[in-house]
Amino acid sequence: MKPFRLSLTETLKLLRERKISPLELVDEYKNRVKEKEGNIDAYLSFNWNEAKKRAKELEKEERDLPLYGIPFAIKDNILVKNLPNTCGSKILENFIAPYDAFVIEKIKKYGGIIIGKTNMDEFAMGSSTENSAFKVTKNPWDTERVPGGSSGGSAAVIASDMALVALGSDTGGSVRQPASFCGVVGLKPTYGLLSRFGLVAFASSLDQIGIFGKTVEDTFYVLNLIQGYDERDSTSLDINYNKIQPFGGKLKIGIIKEINKFGIEDVIVKNMEESLKALESMGHKIVEVSLPNIHNSLPVYYLVAFAEASSNLARYDGVRYGLRVESGNLKTMYTETRKAGFGKEVKRRILLGTFVLSSGYYEQWYLKASKVRRLITNDFEEAFKKVDVLFFPTSPTLPFKIGERIEDPLKMYLADVMTVPVNLSGIPGINVPTGVYNGLPVGMQIVSNYLEENKIYRVALDLEKSIPFERKL
């Protein structure tokens, strides 16, 4: 079997037994990228020279490094020193990262190799990767369809075997939803478990770095290595970071009573029922729970996210870094720079976010959304008193066609309806591929309480085992 078809643990075994060298593995992935990238358009930049240099260095080092020679792809809003960091935007087109993000420091320390930066919706604002200023990434299962977003490039490189592991960011589902669309595993940990130092901010109270892998085991293996307290991130959890292991016993799995309000396609409902039967046959108990405020998640999420985005993106003004459009005076320089540098969706979110924070509207919109966010979090807390995890589809639909929703923002926002409640509450969730319908992948989402990734781990492993999923790309 080709090395790029193997999982992380299988690849590590080959590397440690010297059946393949880190340099040979990098070359294998480079050839694979040459073969597939032209049709998928998942990468924005490459790091082949440095990757080969690092691979040669690793051949002289200890092979027991936990990520020895493993090729990573990184979403282009996570800083990798001396590589471009565009955030998919013209306003940062020529920006070179001056330092490594915390998670990148960890990857490099443990022997991982960065091979490139992946495409994304501009500043992580989108659900299809069509909002990138540079290219539209295609779904490897059907190149006429979107890979999901905003981390569509990272999901696509795993689905097409153009990287072994990829990092993305998840603000409202941007790891889990593209993982579902591309038939790969996508993990969003508890908010604060992974440092956001070096992740370019979209909505600070929602953003979380996540992991794409070929298997459940791969994603948790990487999570255990890159988690940890970071004093440079004020939201980083200062806790005793133990290795996350799968929960030892059988669990109560909750299904949401209100799930029929989300307009889920029939094939996905059928897949959910089949997946639950498989888990029940393995000894887990299925319990219905109510989340009475979950139907408010989408409007609450977009009010909060837009408000935080309008504040975070104020720094892109042409003064300190990024694009500058020279003009007659300072005010017009600001205006012309932002006009030229930002795309349509980013401008829309800045304008709406500024509006909901403005005098006279703050209490009516942002403050009210913040209160309902608390109610949604309370609902999750009550549910987890009755069950160990919640189980529901990651996306209400199969991957949609390129161009189908891009001119209808409200329809596009509905792609996130199943994922945003998790970000509002800061709890962890994972997408596990569970089927293929009409040649397109379907994924199910497993969600647990704060810092109970071990329960997600257990159910995700059992689901993966009980419903074999073969990638035929």
Catalytic residues: 75, 150, 174
Cα distance between residue 21 and residue 19, in whole Å? 7
Handedness of CA 150, 154, 159, 165 (dihedral sign): negative
Q: Please give the helix or strand (H or E) that residue 52 lies within, else none.
A: helix 48-58
Structural contact between residues 141 and 183, judged by C-beta atoms closer than 8 angstroms = yes
98-112 per-residue burial string, b: 16 or more CB within 10 A, e: under 16: eebbbbbbbbbeebb
Q: Which regions of 262-395 does DSSP assign to beta strands (E)?
A: 285-289, 389-393
- Identify the burial level of 240 via C-beta atoms within 10 angstroms of its C-beta, where 0-12 means exposed, 13-18 middle and 19 or more buried: exposed
Q: Which regions of 11-164 does DSSP assign to beta strands (E)?
A: 43-46, 71-75, 113-118
CA atoms within a 13 Å half-sphere pointing along the CA-CB vector of 99: 7
Q: Vertex 397, ends 394 and 399: CA angle to 5°?
A: 95
3-state secondary structure of 264: coil
Q: Vertex 220, ends 270 and 247: CA angle to 5°?
A: 75
Sequence-separated (6 or more) residues with CB below 8 Å from residue 319: none
Cα distance between residue 173 and residue 428, in whole Å? 11
CA distances from 9 to 50, 67, 247, 368 (A): 24, 10, 20, 47
Pairing of strands 209-213, 285-289: unpaired
Structural contact between residues 64 and 105, judged by C-beta atoms closer than 8 angstroms = no
Task: Specify the amino acid at residue 317.
Answer: D
3-state secondary structure of 442: strand
Sequence-separated (6 or more) residues with CB below 8 Å from residue 315: none
Sequence-separated (6 or more) residues with CB below 8 Å from residue 364: none
Q: For the chain, give the number of residues.
A: 473
